[in-house]
Copies of this chain bind each other. A is one copy, B any other.
Amino acid sequence: MSKALERRAKLREALIEAAERAIAAKGLGGLRTRDLADEIGIANGGVYNLVDDLDELILRVGSRTLARLDASLSLAEISGPATPREMLVRIAVAYCDFASDNLELWRALFEHRMQPGKEVPDWAISEQMELFGHIYRPLAALFPKRDPQQLGITARSLFSAVHGMVALGLEQKLIAVPIKALRSEIARLVQAMIDGLLARKD
């Protein structure tokens, strides 16, 4: 790699890390490219030599958040033997913990919307889809007769339901719940959903 390319790669990395710190501290709304440029010592316009636009910068930070979420869920998975049902509960609780520990970065994953007319790039979509594997694998073990498409729909529903509990549970308004109570309530509802789905057999 040429010196110039190497320097650009380092600056790009520094920019993404600065954006990550800014979002972690103040949320998506607190992201100012001018501040980031100051922080890494480049001119304000220089940001757009390093990333295409603000959408790309936010998606690159999201990519790092998703990689850490993936690692957290994998760690939960290998933390001891578990039935598929126990594994789904463990993953749901690990998801809750990750969201609580990375509140603003996690919120940014869901609050970010692309500029009008722009699509989420394929690389970002596949990173998001890969995370469904954590839910998909134990579900496939629980429902061996379901085809991949049905399992995909159930994985998405289960994720959405847990996500809703975490999102509203961690909200700082009327429905804020102590994290310990939230974890056990999530475990209870995930168990109930799985038991109910198993009883239906459809």
Please give the residue numbers on chain A whose beta carbons come within 8 Å of chain B beta carbons, in ascending order. 111, 113, 120, 125, 128-129, 153, 156-165, 167-169, 172-175, 177, 181, 185, 188-189, 191-197, 199-200, 202
Contact = CB atoms under 8 A, between A and B. Distances in A.
A52 to B, nearest CB: 18
Contacts of A197: 189, 192, 196
Contact of A192 (B167, B169, B172, B200): B200
Nearest to A161: B161
Nearest to A156: B175
Contacts of A174: 120, 125, 128-129
A163 B162 CA distance: 10
A157 B189 contact: yes
A164 B164 CA distance: 4
A120 B173 CA distance: 7
Contacts of A162: 161, 164
A194 B120 CA distance: 36
B165 A161 contact: yes
A160 B164 contact: yes
Contacts of A120: 173-174
A181 B152 CA distance: 13
Contacts of A199: 192, 195-196, 199
Nearest to A120: B173
Given A160-B165, A161-B165, A153 B196 contact: no
30 contacts: A111-B111, A120-B173, A120-B174, A129-B174, A153-B185, A156-B168, A156-B175, A156-B177, A157-B189, A158-B189, A160-B164, A160-B165, A160-B168, A160-B175, A161-B164, A161-B189, A161-B193, A162-B164, A163-B168, A164-B164, A164-B168, A188-B200, A192-B196, A192-B197, A194-B196, A195-B195, A195-B196, A195-B199, A196-B196, A196-B199
Contacts of A192: 192-193, 195-197, 199-200
